[in-house]
Amino acid sequence: MFKKLVLILALVFATISPRLALALETVTAALTSKAFQYVPLVIAQERGYMKEEGLDLKLVFMQNAAGLQALIANQVQFSGSGSSALVAISKGNAPLKTVLAFNDQVLQWIVARPNIKTLRDLGGKKIATTDVASIAAYMLRNILIKRNIPKDIVLIDPGPVNRLPALLSGAVDAAIVSPEERYAALDQGMTDLMFFGKEVKNSWGTFATSERFIKEQPKQLFGFVRAVIKGLRIARQDREGTIAAVAKFSELDKALSTRMYDDLVSTFTKAGFVDEQP
């Protein structure tokens, strides 16, 4: 269903030309952090693609649950917590739809203290995560079942910015981390245990909106999608420009931004959805 919706939006992108509006209409997107996967959105904003669609894009930052609640209440029009939205839809029939996927692999890793060498070594250990009910924690549990690894791990939420400090201090034995956190952990001697993108076929950097917004503001929705698809194309094609955008948005130095871009540029989708074909 998700792929069909994005294909429809992509068709609109191909058949309807952008419009320059005299008065911009404000749309707000809630992000969980200044993470690498969101850079196509930043590019779409900085290069004027949103304004070409008559949109004034505002970015706000809030955690998954708060962002989805704001989305349902129409306090924001888009949420970068699309994967969490899918969980909310499946569990509680939330009136939400995912409309875009920026990455075709899950950009999450498990890194651990140097004495832990394999996933099986995590038995009985403490693992830091953003939320014990997060989509990444859910994926980890399924991976452990698939590999027949004991599930007696202890998931701990030390706070949204405390996963890496908790790992480095020894307060936890491992952590589920973002690309930015992973590089910092490896540089401090931590062990790279697992890349979720190689274990789970799922999109990342997914954006959700509400069924109400789709019904009431289709032009704004289509404009947002068209602008983001342009941003995705730039992210894949303009190495130097995208590295500069990553450094500015994520507040990282150029060396780390370059390292991250070169490692992960291939995960950006071409048209805002994950191709389900092998």
What was the pLDDT predicted at 125?
93
What was the pLDDT predicted at 67?
86
Look-up: residue for tokens 């832990």? 116
* pLDDT less than 50: residues of the chain: 13-18, 20-21, 277-278
In the CATH scheme, what is the code of domain 109-199? 3.40.190.10
C-alpha distances out from residue 212 to 54, 127, 173, 192, Å? 20, 38, 43, 42
In the CATH scheme, what is the code of domain 2-104+202-267? 3.40.190.10
What was the pLDDT predicted at 133?
64
Give the Cα separation of 70 and 157 in Å (integer).
22
What was the pLDDT predicted at 137?
85
Quote the mean pLDDT of the chain: 87
What was the pLDDT predicted at 145?
87
**Residue ranges per domain, the chain?**
2-104+202-267, 109-199
Where helices occur in the chain by DSSP H, the ranges are 2-15, 39-46, 49-52, 64-72, 82-92, 135-146, 163-169, 179-187, 196-199, 211-216, 218-237, 239-250, 254-264
Q: Give this prediction's pTM.
A: 0.82
What was the pLDDT predicted at 238?
97
Q: Which residues pair with 204 in a beta bridge?
A: 103
